[in-house]
Amino acid sequence: MSLRLKRFDFLVTIGCLALLGYFAWHANKGPRGYAFLENLKAQSIQLANDLAAEETEKKRLESKVSLMRPEHVDPDMLEELARTELELSRRNELIVRLSD
C-alpha cells in the first residue's frame, strides 16, 4: 500500500469517527436527545394524572346536573341552587356572610 492510500484511509476513518461522535453527542445531550425523552415521559405522566382528575370532576358535575333534569328535580338541589346562585332565603332565616 502506498503512503497516499494509507493517509486517505486514515482521513476517512477520522471523518467517520467525527460524524459518529457528532451524532452520539446529539443523541445524548442534544435538544431531542435522551433528556428530552425523559422530559416527555414525565410530562405524559403529569398529563395522564390531570386527565384522570378532570374525568373525576366531569363525573361529579354530570351527577349534579342529573339531579336537575326537567323530568325529576331534586328538591334539595333546587333549594341549594336558589340559596347560592339567587341568594334567596326564607323569611325567618338569619344570613351571615363571611369574607373569603
Residue 80, CB-side half-sphere exposure with 13 Å CA sphere: 9
Model confidence pLDDT, tens digit, residues 23-49: 999 888 888 888 888 899 999 999 999
Model confidence pLDDT, tens digit, residues 57-84: 999 999 888 877 777 777 887 777 777 7
Per-residue pLDDT band at 20 (split at 50, 70, 90):
very high
Whole-number pLDDT of residue 100: 64
For residues 94 and 72, give the distance between their C-alpha atoms in angstroms, rounded to a whole number.
30
Could you give the percent of the chain with pLDDT greater than 70? Answer: 97
User: For the chain, what are the domain ranges?
Assistant: 1-30, 34-92
For residues 21 and 15, give the distance between their C-alpha atoms in angstroms, rounded to a whole number.
10
pTM for the structure as a whole: 0.50
Q: Which of 7-11, 13-17, 79-83 has the lowest mean pLDDT?
A: 79-83
Any idea of the CA torsion for 26, 29, 35, 40, to the nearest 10 degrees?
-40
